[in-house]
Amino acid sequence: MPGAAESTPLKLLRTAVRGANGQGALHANAAVDADISLQWFEPRYWLTRDAVVGRRGGRRGVVLVVEDAGHRYVLRHYRRGGLAARFIHDDYLWLGESRTRSLAELQLLMRMHADGLPVPRPVAARYEQSGLAYRADLITEYIPETETLADRLAAGDLGLSTWKAIGRCIRRFHDYGLCHADLNAHNILLRGEEEVFLIDFDRGSRRGPGLWRDANIARLRRSLDALEDKRSQPRFGETEWQVLLAAWF
């Protein structure tokens, strides 16, 4: 839980950078054996190398899956969601390096990965500051043979054992004190029938027990209901939800 003794400190390598839009820094996970450079955060770099092997769309734009030296990575550019996205696409207010969303998520992921939670291995983050604004990106390792819960439901029904595994996975994060700021069907990955991962921890945080856990679950239910409303054939209902809740409790 938050405030408990942490395990071995995790090491970040910081490099000051000057990009096309301003100055900033690249922070890399020292445990990752890869020659990470500023180019890694530019989609054009991967496109010209014909190294883009997948794309995943979402409310916050396209996420690229790229390949280097036989390893696959996920490149995500931070984009605004909600009402703000109508006016500001990817600029955030500069409040200092430690407050950048990419570095905060990288550090949170490093801790969770080191503590054995089912999350992608964090690779690197960067930000570029220009005046009072900054833009940011994050790179994580690709988790092979996975699909989002949303994609799996689009393809067919899920067995009750999978819904139970999802509930248990969320409970594990909640027992860890992890509040996921956007728990929805697109941020849950499935591999096989009972292996579950969570992704996208932007604005995530560790907290003590509280009603935020119920809010996380309620957000997931709204996401699943919204997807179900668009389908002609039912894939999710009260039976599946009760199985998930029983495992979560």
Which residues carry out catalysis? 182
Residue 155, exposed/middle/buried by CB under 10 A (0-12, 13-18, 19+)? exposed
- Buried/exposed 70-97: b ≥16 CB within 10 Å, e otherwise: eeebbbbbbbbeeeeeeeeebbbebeee
Contact 51, 66 (CB under 8 A): yes
Q: CA 234, 237, 240 angle in degrees (round to 5)?
A: 120
Placement of tokens 């490149």 in the chain? 75
Q: Is 92 helix (H, G, I), strand (E, B) or coil?
A: strand
